[in-house]
Structure 1
Amino acid sequence: MENLVVKNNIIINAPAAAVWDALINPEQTKKYMFGCKTVSDWKVGSPLLWSAMYEGKETVFVKGTIVDIVQQKLLKYTVIDPNATMADIPENYLNVTYELSGPDGEVNLTVTQDGFEGAADGEKRYQDVYNNGDGWNPILVQIKAVAESGA
């Protein structure tokens, strides 16, 4: 399998602090990540959970670990669906990286997802994320709206 990477970016007309808040604030992430809030202490090596109320109880839909974090610049974490049938082993986790660059007030937010090649169901998971070329674009549009509304 060739190197499978999904990479998208968007320009957000807001301060880096507002973009960063949209990425890590649980009340903000619920607005664009299918109702899921983030649960983490945002330190390297710490767990990151994406959870939401489902059928009357708090349910984790995605989990992972913070790999790297530089406030208002970089957020990299691993992800896996804990409800999937694949084994919960490091090889089956994918990587998600958010990079913020450019002048404050005109942030270029790039998101990259990779690690599909060695993961269980890698090709299918890639196709699900790639989404006929849209990739992360629908979510980036929503992140932009959240960050710009708070700017």
Structure 2
Amino acid sequence: MTTTARADIHVDASRDRLWEALTDPDTIARFLFGSRVETDWREGSPITYHGEWDGKPYEDKGVILEFVPGDRLVTSYYSPLSGKPDEPASYQTVSYLLADDGDGTLVAITQDGCADDAEAERMGENWGMVLQTLKTVVEGD
């Protein structure tokens, strides 16, 4: 059984501004725990996340599955920190979805492929922190 983690937040900014934040490597580093992202932002292209977690360097990776500017970004995702082998069954799908929400934008993140409800809850909490930081970064700029 696999479960999906989910988090969302209202941001007082346009979808265009949020899209820019979600695809600009310098801005991503500001809201995604310092991760440096490398990709060409094309469907089918690789995407990597480099950083340090608990004093240890990491490189997470995936492939861009969907890229619809101002609407959604969907990637596969694998982290060696998961302890799982680097094989197709270990990859999850992470989706960033944008929707109009009054004068701002609703940003939702889902991550499927969680092993159980506890992992989904933990990942949802992590994504909630990411979204709160994204909101602070975007509304503060």
Q: TM-score, normalised by structure 2?
A: 0.85
Kindly indicate whether the alpha-carbon contact (under 8 Å) linking 1:6 and 1:129 is maintained by their aligned counterparts in 2.
Answer: yes
Structure 1 equivalent of residue 10 of structure 2: 11
> What stretches of structure 2 of length at least 5 have no aligned partner?
none
Sequence identity of aligned pairs in percent? Answer: 26
What are the equivalent positions in structure 2 for 1:11-30 lying under 5 Å apart?
11-30=10-29
Structure 2 counterpart SS, 1:23: helix
Kindly indicate whether the alpha-carbon contact (under 8 Å) linking 1:15 and 1:104 is maintained by their aligned counterparts in 2.
Answer: no
**Between structures 1 and 2, the one with greater strand share:** 2
Kindly indicate whether the alpha-carbon contact (under 8 Å) linking 1:16 and 1:104 is maintained by their aligned counterparts in 2.
Answer: no
What are the equivalent positions in structure 2 for 1:62-101 lying under 5 Å apart?
62-82=60-80, 84-101=82-99
Structure 2 counterpart SS, 1:43: coil
| RMSD, aligned α-carbons | 2.3
C-alpha offsets along residues 36-90 of structure 1, whole Å, 9 cap, x if unaligned?
1211001111001111368xxxx54311110101001100001111355422111
Counterpart amino acid of residue 72 in structure 1: G
Kindly indicate whether the alpha-carbon contact (under 8 Å) linking 1:129 and 1:136 is maintained by their aligned counterparts in 2.
Answer: no
**C-alpha distance in 1 between matches for 2:91 and 2:30:** 24
Q: Residue 140 of structure 1: CA displacement?
A: 0.5
Structure 1 equivalent of residue 34 of structure 2: 35
The count of aligned residue pairs is: 138
Q: TM-score, normalised by structure 1?
A: 0.80
